[in-house]
Chain A
Amino acid sequence: MGNLPDKQIGVLALQGDFYEHIAILEKLDNKASLIKKPEELESLDGLIIPGGESTTICKLIRNYGFEEKIKLAVTRGMGLWGTCAGMITIAKKLKDDYPKPIGIMDITVERNFYGRQIDSFEEKVVIKGLDDKKFNAIFIRAPIIREVGKNVEVLSTLNNEIIAARQDKIFVTSFHPELTEDSRVHKYFLSMC
């Protein structure tokens, strides 16, 4: 790629498909590291919370003291991107009683909105901030955003449900760009970090 300066990107590696994110970032010639301990957040320009099981990720984030450290890093200007479970993890509120999210982004999220695994699907969607070409989005027991705060910009909808949004340098997607061959969303995240 070459037209973006190298950013220090970390992928939270407590559970989930973190290697898939690393692989796409490496395809973009941007180095990325696995983050397993809170102190590894300190020098990052951007952190990705990957897809996985949100109840597990939320639990491990709290167990290992990530919650405050991620909030601090965002305050100092680190970019943050949550895909699917990652989006649930950083939401301010959930429509569900479980798990308890860490509450960084001013959105209300509903888990498993489309149903169970047999209702999972792929769909081509338009994402604001990318070029006009549609993005093949993969939804796996996916959540959607029910409500957004006033500082949140909606970047993509599917049948009127919000599936991607941004608040300053915090970015979320209901779907999994890391499971595709298309690196445009990762490029977009690098450009905001």
Chain B
Amino acid sequence: MTSTKLINSNQSWKDKTKPNVGDWKVKGGLAQMLKGGVIMDVVTPDEAKIAEDAGAVSVMALERVPSDIRRDGGVARMSDPDLVSGIINSVSIPVMAKARIGHFVEAQVLESLGVDYCDESEVLTPADNDFHINKWDFKMPFVCGARNLGEALRRIGEGAAMIRTKGEAGTGDVVHAVTHARQILSDIRKLQNMPEEELMSAARDFQAPYELVLEVHKNGKLPVVNFSAGGIATPSDAALMMQIGVEGVFVGSGIFKSSNPSKMAEAIVKATTHYNDPDMLAEISAGLGDAMPGIEANKINEKDQLQTRGW
């Protein structure tokens, strides 16, 4: 068989979508609608309302923001369904919520509540050391974290319809979000420029499904929307990630741990739209009060990092 034939094969990874379970275009489609936008962590219906008023494209319903989870320690689990429902009922924008890595029952509960996107998240304590959720089983779409292209493609292979960088959540330090975004984009460029005969070995090295490696090689981008998360705390942080090449941002603790959440939220929304315009960014960034107190992410021991959870 020639290599061209392999590339033109009609069998597609998208065919794994089961009949009557959310179609791939519909699942990935919502992520398309979120592009150029900011998804904000909120812990109460009031915060959700503030986020919506500030122009958030979606909110992530949580019991504690990542910086508090980090501070408190212990086991972090899915939020109380009452809290998630309360937030769903308080806003008209899509609502996301987190399930533990591998905890497909938490995901089933979130789907039953009507959650619009499930984040299978390393911010919560993993429930399975070996396996992530089989996301093809759900009508509700999933977003998953990744630190490199192989990890992103493994999650997409399991059915994730959106990817985000992991960064280091709850630190307010953007350095790992930058590292992960650069890594993913650089991996993509490498695959794109590889001759076809090298792609199978690349799939082996990236530990990624071959059919997805082919797709990235052909299109020069991930087959799903790619956001950034984990440490974004200012309008400039958001614009930095957008200029590096992601399609939107998640802001966790950065909004409601700042001194003026409503102002900070609005400024980050504007900066994500006008990420390429330094004059606008200067205006947007002025007089916002204090950003969240940060922790230098490079000083966190590997065993205390959230990003190493999952594989």
- Chain A 33-55 interface 0/1 with B at a Cβ cutoff of 8 Å (1 = within): 00010000000000000011101
Q: How far is the CA of A140 from the CA of B55 in the complex (A)?
A: 19
- For B52, give the chain A residue with the smallest CB separation: A55
A46 and B114 CA atoms in complex are apart in Å by 37
A17 within 8 A of B: yes
Give A163 Cβ to nearest chain B Cβ, in Å.
Answer: 16
Q: A98-B92, A116-B114, A117-B94 are known contacts. Are A53 and B33 too (CB-CB below 8 A)?
A: yes
Q: Does B77 make an interface contact (CB < 8 A)?
A: no
B94 surroundings in chain A (CB, below 8 A) = 53, 116-117, 141
Decide: A122 near B32, CB < 8 A? Known: A53-B37, A56-B55, A98-B92.
no
B151 within 8 A of A: no
Are B26 and A122 touching (Cβ within 8 A)? yes
A116 to B33, CA, bound (A): 14
Which B residues touch A158, using CB under 8 A?
none
Minimum C-beta distance from B280 to chain A (A): 9
| A112, A116, A118: most-surrounded residue (chain B CB, <10 A) | A118
Which B residues from 25 to 81 make CB contacts under 8 A with A?
A: 25-26, 29-30, 32-37, 52, 55-58
Cβ of B140 under 8 Å from chain A: yes
B117 part of interface (Cβ distance < 8 Å): yes
Q: 13 A-B residue contacts at CB 8 Å?
A: A13-B36, A19-B35, A36-B277, A56-B37, A117-B30, A117-B117, A118-B111, A118-B140, A121-B23, A122-B26, A139-B26, A141-B33, A176-B32
Q: How large is the interface on B (under 10, 10 to 19, 20 to 34, 35 or more residues)?
A: 20 to 34
A14 to B38, CA, bound (A): 12
Interface pairs A-B: 8 shortest CB-CB: A117-B116, A53-B57, A17-B32, A15-B36, A59-B55, A120-B26, A56-B55, A140-B29
CB-CB under 8 A from A122, the residues of chain B are: 23, 25-26
At the interface, is chain A mostly helix, strand, loop or mixed? loop
Within the assembled complex, what's the spacing in Å between the Cα atoms of A38 and B41?
Answer: 31
Tell me the A residues contacting B by CB distance below 8 Å: 13-20, 36, 51-53, 55-56, 59-60, 63, 84-85, 96, 98, 111-112, 115-118, 120-122, 138-141, 176, 179-180
Chain B residues contacting A141 (CB-CB under 8 Å) are 30, 33, 94, 116
Q: Is the CB of A121 within 8 A of B26?
A: yes
Known: A15-B273, A60-B269. 8 other contacts (CB 8 A): A14-B273, A55-B92, A98-B92, A118-B22, A118-B139, A120-B29, A140-B33, A141-B116
- In angstroms, Cα B35 to Cα A141, docked, is 15
